[in-house]
Structure 1
Amino acid sequence: MEFAPIFTIAAKEFHDRMRNRWVLAVALVFTVFSLVIAYFGGAQQGTVGFRSIEFTIASLVSLVIYLIPLIALLLGFDAIVGERERGSLDLLLALPITRLELLLGKYLGLAVALTVSTVAGFGLVAVLLFKHMSGAGLYHYAGFMLSSVLLGLAFLSLAVLLSVLARDRTRASGLAIATWFFFVLVFDLLVLGLLVATGGQFAGDAFAWLLLLNPADVFRILNVFSLEDVRTLYGLASVVPTSLGSPAIMGGVMLLWIAVPLILANWRFKP
Structure 2
Amino acid sequence: MIGGLQWRALRTVAGKELRDRLRNRWILAVAVVLAAFALLIAYFGGAQSGTVGFRSIGVTVASLTSLAIYLVPLIALLLGFDAIVGERERGTLDLMLSMPLTRAELLLGKYLGLGAALVLATLIGFGTALVPLATQLDAAGIRLYALFVASVIALGLSFLSLAMLVSVLVRDRARATGAAILLWFGFVLVFDLALLGALVATAGRHSSAWAPYALLLNPADVFRVFNAMSTETLRNAFGLGTLLPDAWGDPRVLGSVMVAWILAPLGVALWRFR
Counterpart of 1:78 in structure 2 is 82
Aligned to 2:59: 55
In structure 2, the partner of 1:21 is 25
**Aligned match of 1:209:** 213
Whether 2:205 is the aligned partner of 1:183: answer no
Contact 2:161 2:265 in 1 (8 A): yes
Give the CA deviation at 1:174.
0.6
Runs of 4+ in 1 over 3 A off after TM superposition: none
TM-score normalised per structure 1: 0.98
| Gap regions ≥5 residues in structure 2 | none
Out of 88, 91, 100, which is 1:96 matched to?
A: 100
User: Which residue, out of 115, 119, 122, partners 2:123?
Assistant: 119
Instruction: Pick one of 255, 262, 265 that aligns with 1:261.
Output: 265
Do the aligned partners of residues 202 and 82 (structure 1) sit closer, same or farther apart at CA in structure 2, a change above 3 Å counting? farther
Q: After TM superposition, give the deviation of residue 236 of structure 1 in Å.
A: 1.1
Counterpart of 1:186 in structure 2: which amino acid?
A: V
Query: Number of residue pairs matched?
Result: 270
**Partners of 2:216 and 2:222 within 8 A in 1:** yes
Residues 176-203 of structure 1, C-alpha deviation per residue, up to 9 Å, x if partnerless?
Answer: 0110000000001111111111111141
Contact 2:38 2:64 in 1 (8 A): yes
SS of match in other structure, 2:217: coil
Shift of residue 245, structure 1, vs aligned partner? 3.8
Q: Counterparts of 1:223 and 1:214 in 2: how far apart (Å)?
A: 15
Alignment correspondent of 2:178:
174
- Say if 1:61 and 1:220, in contact at 8 Å, map to a contact too: yes
User: Normalization by structure 2: what TM-score?
Assistant: 0.97
Provide the residue aligned with 1:65 in structure 2.
69
Give, in angstroms, the shift of residue 110 of structure 1: 0.1
Per-residue CA deviation, residues 53-80 of structure 1 (Å, 9 max, x unaligned), is 0010000000100000000000000000
Amino acid at match of 2:78: L
Residue equivalent to 2:34: 30
RMSD: 0.9
Contact kept, 8 Å, 2:229 with 2:248, in 1: the verdict is no
Task: Give the drift of 1:205.
Answer: 3.4
Aligned residue runs from structure 1 range 188-199, under 5 A: 188-199=192-203
Gapped runs of 5+ residues in structure 1?
A: none
Distance in structure 2 (CA, Å) of the matches to 1:194 and 1:99: 42
